[in-house]
Every structure is written in C-alpha cells, then in structure tokens.
Amino acid sequence: MESVVAGIIIAIIKILVILGVVLGVGAYLTWVERKVAAHIQRRPGPMVVGWHGLLQPLADGLKLITKEDLFPRYGNKFLYNLAIVLALVPATLVFAVVPFGPEFELFGYKIKPILTDVNVGLLLVFGLGSLAVYAIAIAGWASNSKYPLIGSMRKAGIIISYEVVITFAVMGPLILAGTLSTYEIVQKQIEQNLWYVWVQPVAFVVFMFALLAETGRVPFDIQEAEAELVTGFTVEYGGMKFGLFPLVEWYVEVLSLSAIAVVLFFGGWSPINIPFVGFVDPLFFLGPFSPYVWFLLKVTLLFLFILWLHWTLPRYRIDQITETAWKIMLPLTLINIVFTAVIAPVVWG
Amino acid sequence: MIKRVATKPLSWLERALFIDFIKGLSVTIRHAFSRTITTHYPYEKLTPPKRFRGFFGHKVVDGNEPQPAYDEWVERFKIEVIPGKSRCVVCMLCKRACPVPQLFEIEGKKLENGRRVVSVFNMNLMLCTFCGFCVDACPVDCLFQSDIHETASYTRKDSILDLELLEKIGRDWQIRRENEPDRIWIDDSQREKLWHENKVRLPEPQFRGRHEW
C-alpha cells in the first residue's frame, strides 16, 4: 500500500515538473526563435520589454489572452474548440516517454526520470505524432473557410507521407537496440558504447527531414505558406487560440521530436561517444547532474540547428515534398534497414 | 532570341551530401554572428541627409537670400521685407506647381505703407505627397523641406502647417543645417556605422565659386 501511495506521489511530481518545464520552456522558445531569426537577418530582435526582450513572451501571452475571441460564421464551434485540445494534448503527452536521465535512488525509492517507461514507448510517440494531423484537419474543417481547409489538406498529405518514412527510419536504431522502450534504447547505447548516429547517418538525416515535415517547419511549412495561405489552418483563430497552434507545432512538437532524436541517435543522457571504445565526459565535475545537462545540451543544440535550418532554407512545393518522401526517403530507409540487419550482429557483439 | 540562363545543376554527389544546404547554412551562420545593423528607433535616431523631403518650412529673411532674384521679386510685388520673418513673396508659384493645389491656402495683406506681406500660408499635409515640386518652384528659396520626418499626430488639425509653424521650422533649420554641405550621409562616421563593410571613402565636398560652373 505504502509503495502504491509513494508511486502515485512520485508520478504526480513528475507530471507537474514535466508539464511546467515543457509549457514554460515552450513559451520561452518563442523568444529564442525570434532572437535567432533576428540575428540571422542581422537584427537584434525583441529588445524593449525587459533585458534584451526577456519578458516579451509574457507580454505576448498577456496580449493574446486579452484579445477578442472571434468565431467564423457557419463554422462548427465544437470541432473548432476540439482542434485546440487535440493539438495540445498529444504533443505534450509525447514527453511522458522521454527519459531525461538515468535511474537514481532518493529516500530509498528507485526513481526513473521518465514519466512512464512503457515497453512500447516509441510506438506511443508515433501514435501521438499521427494524432496531430487530426487537430489540423479538424481545425481547417471547422473554420469553414478556404485557406484553412487548403492548409490542413496539405498538412495531412505531408504527415501521411512522412509518418511512413519516419517509422521506417527509426527501424534501424530499433533493430540495433532490440527494444521499443525509450529508456532501454539509451541503456543499450551506453552498454554497446555506440551512439547510433555513427552507424545510422542515413536514418538520422531521414528522421530530421521527417521531423521538419511533421512539425511544419521550413522547408516543409507548406501548410501555412504565408505568401499563399496567409497562415494556413489558423486563419480563423484569434487570441490565445491562435497562439496555441504555433506554440504546439513549432515548439512543443519540435522539442519532443528533438528529444526522441537525441534518445534514438545521440544516446540520450550519455556523454560524448567514441564509437565502440567508450564515453568521454568533459562535464564530469557536475557529478550526478552531468547526465541531465548532457541531455538538455543535446536537445538544445538540435533545436537550435532546426531553427538555423528554418531561417536559411526556402520552401518546397507540395509535390516536391511528397515526391521526396515516397521516391527518395522511403527507398533510402528500406536500404538502411537491410544495411542495419547486416551490421547488427557486430553491434550486438 | 531568348537566352536561357540557368545555374549548373547539382551532381548526385552534391545532392547526397547536401552541398547546397551547407552553403546556405554557412552564409546564415556568418550573418548570425556579425554585428547587427539596426537603429533602435525611438531611443536613437538617424539624422536624415540634407536633401531629405520631410516637413515643410519657410526660411526667414537673414541676408542670405538668393540675389538678384529676391530683390527682383520683392520689387515686382512691392513686398515689405521684415528681417526674421518669412521670405515669402506671395507669388503663388508653389500652388501652381502643386499636383494637389487645394492643399495650399495663401493670402497676402496690404500694410499701411502700401507694401504687401504674406498673412496666411496654410499647408494641409494630409493631401501632400511630399513630391517637392513646390520647393523647386519657389523663386526666392523660401519654401523648403526639412529633415523632420516624425509626422504622426493625435488630431487631423495638427497636420496643417500654418505660417507661424513654417517660420519656426525654417529658423530652426537655418540654425542647425543651413551651412552643411549637401551629401547623402550626415558624415563619414554615420555612413561607416550603417555600411561598415563597404569601405568606400566619400570625396570631400568641394565648394566652388559661381564662376567655375
């Protein structure tokens, strides 16, 4: 009985910490994105509200909350509001299976810094990732307007193509690790002294492409191509309802998929890896906090890389995007699976 | 005949290694770590070049009028010349040159001694396109355009410049910038700040006498 109560309390604490961190960081990533975008274009970005604009997200949030809530005539109110929930919840739920660090012991309880270490963690990630398309399709449909509908149809087309590709891309690491649990995948990488990106570079590149496509970032931001569709499926949303979609799509989803990429390819919380030899930890002086710092560092770098890509590349056409997915990415991943099957015994060693 | 120009298509190796992506990314990262070129507007403001077309003003009589044109016009219209007041000779050439003549409202009045002077000179800047035709037309170098470019106001009344305000702008201009050489940038350090990677030195402004023209 006592262990059940303790388990529940630990779970609640984990939920609160993860929710707070994810949503708080998500809001502040708008500031990061604006700064990165500005400096790439040689502007200083937000500078007025607080030191170097640090309070800008709060000001934006306040503005969005106090705005008038508009609703399009003849739209479907229920679906219109449901779309917001459907967008926010799956994207946040993905963090339930992201392992932040190794197991540790506190007051005699063994705690894994992962909300639920389910043995089909990755399946859950991609299931929830596919759910995101419903939010966008419903948002486009319920708005009763042309631009949102076109935007959501485009997004649905992209996600359906890239769901297939991303699933095949993660097959490589899955074969090498032999498990679907995210926690176990990291453990395997540490045991095998190998970040899977060293033997799965093709899978990683394909995963990055699919990540950009699923989160609707440049070069695949065709669903909200500003020049053509105004802002795509969010045209008819106003105030905080509008603010939530980019928050979820551009920040929470990118963050969760970056975390999954780090788990799959960069060994989660492990320090720098020399393939098949061992790990070098320049942050050893942090002691037990070193794994968490490593994990956060890797996710941050990956996120910044995605921002860098976003503000560099132009946009692809919808036919080019789907063509790349089906004609190039999918065959590449299939070849990669064969290659992985060949080298797997060496890695299992 | 149409000459078709195309960049060289990428080879399969370049495609596979994302050479074009890397080129673009290297450009953006270099820009990301170089100095920003923004002027933080409400806190720091650029001084526009002297020939900037901003708010209008009337230069006042201070002894630097273009001669002999000024004396001729004064003689023709029998204008009372008052030092420190507008140079305007009420010739209405600015109104004739204007594409929207309604925006000018010009009246003169006759003084006791029989000579004339400008009494009303209103410019409705809500109609103005700042084309500068009136300034070109002015024969006595009275009407001019200053460097004032913050034209926003709370009421529509504020966008009408009357004679008093025009003279005030003119006096301010004559004190601040009348003697400045006419060039695009206020000075070399200003130019340096905006375009520091373009290290072209401006030629020193040359003052030439009228006989050289």
Q: Where are the domains of chain A?
A: 71-104+117-348
Q: What are the pLDDT digits (tens) for A168-177?
A: 888 888 888 8
Selecting from A38, A44, A308 the residue whose C-beta is nearest the C-beta of B25 gives A308
Over range A71-87, report the average pLDDT. Answer: 85
The closest of B210, B187, B213, B191 to B200, measured between CA atoms, is B191
pLDDT band at B99 (very low <50, low <70, confident <90, very high): very high
Residue A313 — very low, low, confident or very high, per pLDDT cuts 50/70/90?
A: confident
pLDDT in tens, A255-276: 888 888 998 888 888 888 787 7
Q: Answer whether A41 sits within 8 Å of B31, measured CB to CB.
A: yes
* CB of A309 less than 8 A from some CB of B: yes
Closest in A38, A47, A311 to B28, CB measured: A311
Distance (Å, rounded) from C-alpha A135 to C-alpha A143? 12
Q: Rounded CA gap, B156 and B125, in Å?
A: 10
CA B43 to chain centre: 22
Complete domains list, chain B, with CATH: 56-176 (3.30.70.3270)
B78 class by beta-carbon count within 10 Å (0-12 exposed, 13-18 middle, 19+ buried): middle
pLDDT at B93: 92
Which of B17, B38, B41 would you mutate first to test chain A, the one with the most A CBs within 10 A?
B38
Tell me if chain B has a CB within 8 Å of the CB of A313. Answer: yes
Nearest CA to A258 out of A210, A219, A198, A302 is that of: A302
Q: Is A301 on the interface with B (CB under 8 A)?
A: no
pTM of the model: 0.80
Q: What is the DSSP letter of A192?
A: T
* Partner residue opposite B28 with nearest CB, options A38, A43, A308: A308
Locate B173 and state its tokens. 């201009």
Q: What is the pLDDT of residues A51-68, one digit of tens each?
A: 888 888 888 889 888 988
Confidence band for A229, pLDDT divided at 50, 70 and 90: confident
Per residue in A284-308, pLDDT (tens digit) is 777 778 888 888 889 999 999 998 9
pLDDT band of residue B197 (cuts 50, 70, 90) is low
Predicted local confidence at residue B212, as pLDDT: 46
Residues of B in contact with A36 (CB under 8 A): 32
CB–CB of B27 and A309 under 8 A? no
- On chain A, the residues whose CB falls within 8 A of the CB of B37 are 42-43
Residue A112: what pLDDT? Answer: 76
Q: CB distance B31–A44 less than 8 Å?
A: no
A158: CB partners within 8 A, 6+ apart: A213, A214, A216, A220, A222, A223, A318, A321, A322, A325
For residue B132, the distance in angstroms to the closest alpha carbon of chain A comes to 33
What pLDDT is recorded for position B207? 57
Closest-CA residue in chain B for A332? Answer: B16
Q: Confidence class of residue B192 from pLDDT cuts 50, 70 and 90? A: low
Q: What's residue B186's pLDDT?
A: 61
Least confident of A163-167, A214-218, B183-187: B183-187
A84 within 8 A of A74, measured Cβ to Cβ: no
Position A150 confidence tier, pLDDT thresholds 50, 70, 90: confident
Tell me, what DSSP letter sits at residue A324?
I
Contacts of B32 in chain A (CB under 8 A): 36, 39-40, 308
Distance CA A328, CA B68 (A): 80
